Amino acid sequence: MIFYRFSDPWILLLLAIVPLLAWWRLYGSSTRGASMRFSNLGVIKNIRKKGPARARIILLALRLLAVAMMIVALARPQSGMKGEEVLTEGVDIILTMDISSSMLAEDIKPNRVEAAKEIAAEFIKGRKNDRIGMVVFASQGFTQCPLTLDYGILLTFLKEVKVGLIEDGTAFGMGMVTAINRLRTSEAKSKVIIALTDGRNNRGEIDPVTAAQAAQALGIKVYTIGAGTRGTAMYPVEDPFFGKRYVPMQVDIDDATLGQIARMTGGRYFRATDRTELVGVFKEIDELEKTEIKVQEYTRYSEQFYYFAGLALLFLLIEVILMHTRFRKIP
């Protein structure tokens, strides 16, 4: 935003003398001009009487404009530009997503993994000034995207997530350890893991509670999400004879362990049984992990007086040139 001001605005009061000078020069001056004697006035009878008056007004106007411009220059006009500097301590977040085959269940529409991807994408788009990365896991943990501020790249990697990228299984502890390794050297004010799963740990060398202890030691907060309805959910299977069909599958989410992990690390455990609840979970986490932003406003000024000083000199120069050429007086 650009605006203008005068550093010494009181000097503009001197502009009041400009009309006084004009009045004094036109009506108040008692000085008489020089005179010449002619033996014969016939030579000057036909000289137009308006010439001297017009010259007098033009030269006076130039002089007064020069004075006015010089007064404005002395008041030091300045142009200012307001800006702001954002001082923020961002949050480093690792999204940790289960991509085991059970994530294809359709109790959360269109299915668990696609719903999680779509809702996570909206979560990413709503963040600012935070580094976000992604870990996926099934039988082992795998870094899909390291911590980044380039949300476009992150969203591209998120789209590529699908069931089958990793051998099947649910190594929730290994997924957490992979995420912890990504945050281990982080210097962010707040370090967060958002871990989503639809089952219980059944693979990997490290159990979830041990991984939670490591997160706790490093000051990493873990929000755990259990995604899946209660009871049974319809799971698609490919039948070589009848094609795609659905079979009921028992939902087995380890609520106790997920809750323990959240409590140990200062996070929270959420259970999402449908898409609406999953959307609400990510919104609540978004509110809980708001980035603190401080805005420092500043204004830069640049001097503009030389433009008005230049105009004053220009008007004086024009006056001098006209006085010695077009409006030259006979001595």
Residue 45 pLDDT greater than 90, yes or no: no
- 136 with 158, same domain: the answer is yes
| pLDDT given for residue 19 in this prediction | 87
Band of residue 41 on the pLDDT scale cut at 50, 70, 90 = low
Higher pLDDT, 142 or 17: 142
| pLDDT given for residue 60 in this prediction | 83
CA dihedral (65, 70, 75, 77) positive or negative? positive
Band of residue 228 on the pLDDT scale cut at 50, 70, 90 = very high
- 242 with 103, same domain: the answer is yes
Mean pLDDT (whole number) for 91-111: 96
- 166 with 143, same domain: the answer is yes
Residue 166 pLDDT greater than 60, yes or no: yes
Higher pLDDT, 330 or 5: 5
Answer yes or no: is 38 within a domain. no
Note down the domain range covering 270: 91-290
- 244 with 311, same domain: the answer is no
- 304 with 233, same domain: the answer is no
Mean pLDDT for the chain?
87
Please provide the DSSP assignment of 57-92 as one string.
HHHHHHHHHHHHHHHHHHT-EEEEEEEEEEEEE-EE
- 307 with 218, same domain: the answer is no
Q: Please give the Cα distance from 188 to 180 (Å, whole number).
A: 14
Please provide the DSSP assignment of 215-234 as one string.
HHHTTEEEEEEEES-SSEEE
* Total tally of structural domains belonging to the chain: 2
Band of residue 35 on the pLDDT scale cut at 50, 70, 90 = low
| pLDDT given for residue 320 in this prediction | 85
Band of residue 47 on the pLDDT scale cut at 50, 70, 90 = low
Tell me the CATH number at 180: 3.40.50.410
- 53 with 178, same domain: the answer is no
Residue 36 pLDDT greater than 60, yes or no: no
Answer yes or no: is 108 within a domain. yes
Answer yes or no: is 329 within a domain. no
- 155 with 118, same domain: the answer is yes
Query: Cα 226 to chain center, whole Å?
Result: 34
- 78 with 224, same domain: the answer is no
Could you tell me whether strands 91-98 and 77-89 are parallel, antiparallel, or unpaired per DSSP bridges? Answer: unpaired
Answer yes or no: is 36 within a domain. no
- 117 with 266, same domain: the answer is yes
Mean pLDDT lowest among 4-8, 159-163, 193-197, 200-204? 4-8
Answer yes or no: is 126 within a domain. yes
| pLDDT given for residue 321 in this prediction | 86
User: Which of 88-102, 267-281, 311-325 is the most confident on average?
Assistant: 267-281
- 115 with 258, same domain: the answer is yes
Answer yes or no: is 267 within a domain. yes
Answer yes or no: is 40 within a domain. no
- 135 with 235, same domain: the answer is yes
Residue 39 pLDDT greater than 70, yes or no: no
Band of residue 180 on the pLDDT scale cut at 50, 70, 90 = very high
| pLDDT given for residue 92 in this prediction | 94
The contacts of residue 81 (CB under 8 Å, 6+ apart) are 1, 2, 299, 300
Q: Helices 275-288 and 112-125 sit at what angle, rounded to 10 degrees?
A: 30
Answer yes or no: is 142 within a domain. yes
| pLDDT given for residue 256 in this prediction | 96
pTM of the model: 0.65
